[in-house]
Homo-oligomer: A and B are copies of this chain.
């Protein structure tokens, strides 16, 4: 497909470190835009189309988390990697529910960063071919249109779905009759995997079950500790 360079937005206030990192990434065939602070970072973010953001957490005026939040508002998809001080604990980070794709403690091995970037890009790439562009599903007698966010039963009145309901059902449908791991939904939809997001997901499972219960051949089963399974009984290819 496109062989053009991937664009990275690097927001790092330390000019030395920032420049070095930028050059290093550039050497590895990424097109890097370097912003010196959160403000500038956001401006640059809006003006271009990046494939990935690398944000320093500790920055004057606007820290990395705040910036990440603003970026998320504009773009739900874009991968974000945080550069953090070694001291910060996992839980502190999790507290900021921004949905990071990765954290890296400074100082870090540049090779590691490169690998992480590759991994994330890779994941996004395969994600999209496998997942996206697939907006419509037949689930028993249900029809899910996940672009317009509605669910119809037997061609009846469409039931509107909220974004989260929609995404969750779509993920289940993508794994129809198979395990849809909790973790998958949590990282993909909630972009975070902790107690609260997990409970939130359960709430959504309940909502979906309510919608689906008009068809007794369709149900969402729990696999304890693993995830959920959207099962469709009588899965005959109806040739009417």
The chain B residue with its CB closest to the CB of A103 is: B47
11 contacts between A and B (CB under 8 A): A43-B105, A47-B102, A47-B104, A47-B116, A48-B112, A148-B178, A148-B179, A148-B223, A148-B229, A149-B226, A162-B224
**A196-238 interface with B by 8 A CB criterion:** 223-226, 229
Specify how many copies of this chain sit in the oligomer.
2
- Chain B residues with CB under 8 Å of A162's CB are 224
User: Which single residue of chain B is at the shortest CB-CB distance from A39?
Assistant: B89
Residues from chain B with Cβ under 8 Å of A179 in the complex: 147-148
Q: Is A15 an interface residue (CB 8 A)?
A: no
Residue of B90, B116, B148 touching A43 (CB-CB under 8 A): B90
Q: How far is the CB of A224 from chain B (nearest CB, A)?
A: 7
Q: Is the CB of B43 within 8 A of A149?
A: no
| 1/0 contact string of A137-178 vs chain B (CB within 8 Å) | 000000000011100000000000011000000000000001
Query: In angstroms, how far is the closest chain B Cβ from the Cβ of A214?
Result: 22
Number of A residues, CB within 8 Å of B: 22
Q: Which of the residues B105, B163, B225 comes within 8 Å of A225, measured between beta carbons?
A: B163
Chain B residues whose CB sits within 8 angstroms of the CB of A229 once the complex forms: 148
Residues of B contacting A223 in the complex (Cβ-Cβ under 8 angstroms)? 148-149
- Which chain B residue shows the least CB distance to A115? B48
In the complex, what's the smallest C-beta–C-beta distance from A41 to chain B, in angstroms? 12
| Closest B residue, CB atoms, query A89 | B39
Kindly supply a per-residue 1/0 record for chain A positions 93-117, scoring 1 wherever the CB is within 8 Å of any chain B CB and 0 otherwise. 0000000001111000000100010
Lowest 10 A-B CB distances belong to which pairs? A149-B223, A148-B179, A147-B179, A163-B225, A148-B223, A148-B229, A43-B90, A47-B102, A47-B103, A162-B224
New A-B contacts (5) at CB < 8 Å, excluding given A148-B179, A148-B223, A162-B224: A47-B103, A47-B104, A47-B116, A48-B112, A148-B229
Q: Considering the chains assembled together, what is the distance between the CA atoms of A43 and B163 in angstroms?
A: 32
Instruction: Please measure, in the bound complex, the distance between the C-alpha atom of A223 and the C-alpha atom of B229, giving whole angstroms.
Output: 28
Give the distance in Å from the alpha carbon of A90 to the alpha carbon of B178 in the complex: 43
Q: Chain B: which residue is nearest A46 at the CB level?
A: B90
